[in-house]
Amino acid sequence: MRLKRLIKLMQFKETERKRLTFGPGTRLNPQKHYLQLKQTGSGYSTTADLFVRTWSTTPRTMKRWIGFMATYSNSRNVANIVVTDVRFRLNNGGVQDLYWNPGAAAWVPAASNNWNTEDEIAANIHLFPVSTQTLQVVINLRTSDPAYTPTVSAVRFLYESDLEEMEDYVWRSLIPDMRSKILPIAEHSIEIATAGASIDLDEFPIETPYDLREIDSVYDLDADPNKLNNLFSSYNDATKVISLTAPIPAGNTALIRFLYRPVIAVTTNQDYTELEKVPEILFERIERPAPLEQTNVDYVLNKATGNGYKVPATQADIEINAIFVTDKAKDHARVQDAIKRYFADNQRVRSVGMDDDFDILMLGEPEQATVANQKDLHTGRFRFRIARALFFDNDAEEIHGVRNFSLAMTRATC
């Protein structure tokens, strides 16, 4: 299996406040963007088990965690003695936090006083259980002097991943997101043969093969031409039966409005568009038009051994040309509206493989053809971009940190 080394970075900025869980006596400094103890009239609390819990991350391409590094600062008192400390626990999505037990040589459930140093986490993270691919950090802040607090600005994890970037951005992340959120509305009119408080869609099949997701409303157009009285009560997806709040008389026309999910796929050839697949949205071309430039290098270093890796990444925009196809002009306009609404409501898409967000934006307005083509299909086009997507074209590089150095000074004489 071809694996890459990638980095998961958690920075404790003010923008991430809502994703953090603060225990008693802890806070996020909004100006300096780090975690610290909360100051009261008597100073910082000297209670030993004060903590902040990070958000959970689940990069779905992760195979094994292999490195850990924390960015933090301890304080010294006037006697130059270190009086603060930062320790950690991990959680893989379970009810209990885990810590590395040196005696058992295993990750075990943590009691209130069980915490690990950064070096202990870094040395044993490769053995952390990864069945759920989920990771959460619990950060313990402590001080023995109420005049001082430790500060923590970030934690980093190095992990092995089988990420294929383009597949992850488009197929695993963007398309499922669009499928779940692009839900146009459509209409189906039927003449009621027998009065009743229900409508069986198997008896009144819809011509276009919609992937029906939800009934929006039902109206009796003869008794209520202005569509003011919604008669919809419930819908049984298994039996295809719509229940109404009141019966519709025989001979009247019922208007059923419903949400459906259009096919969203990537075209594989010029003959992909087929009548039985409409309505559909097809990605015709996916490309990285701009040359790649290295814009980001991050690293994880084991401070105890001085060994680590730096991970070079490049950023590039992914541009996608797409078409949307329907067999009805009204559906075509509504699909166009649904596409515009998706990009208005969703400025970011989450990479499933890396569990990171990336900007998406539509490039101009969709182009809509109002006249059907020879196959009686209405076609429109739109373009959009995944901005500043990360690509890891080069392997991670092994690095060695400087653990100490000496400085010799020589006095010059004239």
CA distance 316 to 292: 6
| Among the listed residues 157, 1, 4, 156, the one whose alpha carbon sits nearest the alpha carbon of residue 72 | 156
pLDDT higher than threshold 90 for residue 382: yes
Whole-number pLDDT of residue 271? 47
Whole-number pLDDT of residue 401? 78
| Among the listed residues 35, 301, 70, the one whose alpha carbon sits nearest the alpha carbon of residue 142 | 35
CA distance 264 to 284: 11
pLDDT higher than threshold 90 for residue 369: no
* Contact criterion met (CB below 8 Å) for 131 and 62: no
- 356-362 and 348-351 beta bridge pairing: antiparallel
Sorting pLDDT into bands at 50, 70 and 90, what band is 268?
low
Whole-number pLDDT of residue 276? 54
- 263-266 and 280-287 beta bridge pairing: parallel
Whole-number pLDDT of residue 272? 47
Element (H, E) at 321: strand 307-326
Of the candidate ranges 70-84, 192-206, 338-352, the one whose mean pLDDT is the lowest:
192-206
How does the average pLDDT of the chain come out, rounded?
91
* Contact criterion met (CB below 8 Å) for 179 and 261: yes
Of the candidate ranges 183-187, 193-197, 285-289, 403-407, the one whose mean pLDDT is the lowest:
403-407
* Three-state secondary structure call for residue 101: strand
Sorting pLDDT into bands at 50, 70 and 90, what band is 274?
very low
Sorting pLDDT into bands at 50, 70 and 90, what band is 368?
confident
pLDDT higher than threshold 50 for residue 95: yes
* Three-state secondary structure call for residue 122: helix
Whole-number pLDDT of residue 103? 95
Whole-number pLDDT of residue 372? 59
Mean pLDDT of 127-147: 96
The residue whose two tokens read 């814009």 is 295
Beta-carbon count within 10 A of 299 CB:
18
DSSP H helical ranges for 317-405: 329-345
CA distance 44 to 39: 5
The residue whose two tokens read 């991943």 is 161
Domains, the chain, ordered by start: 4-161 (2.60.120), 185-260 (no CATH), 274-399 (3.30.2000)
CA distance 193 to 120: 75
Sorting pLDDT into bands at 50, 70 and 90, what band is 30?
very high
* Contact criterion met (CB below 8 Å) for 9 and 59: no
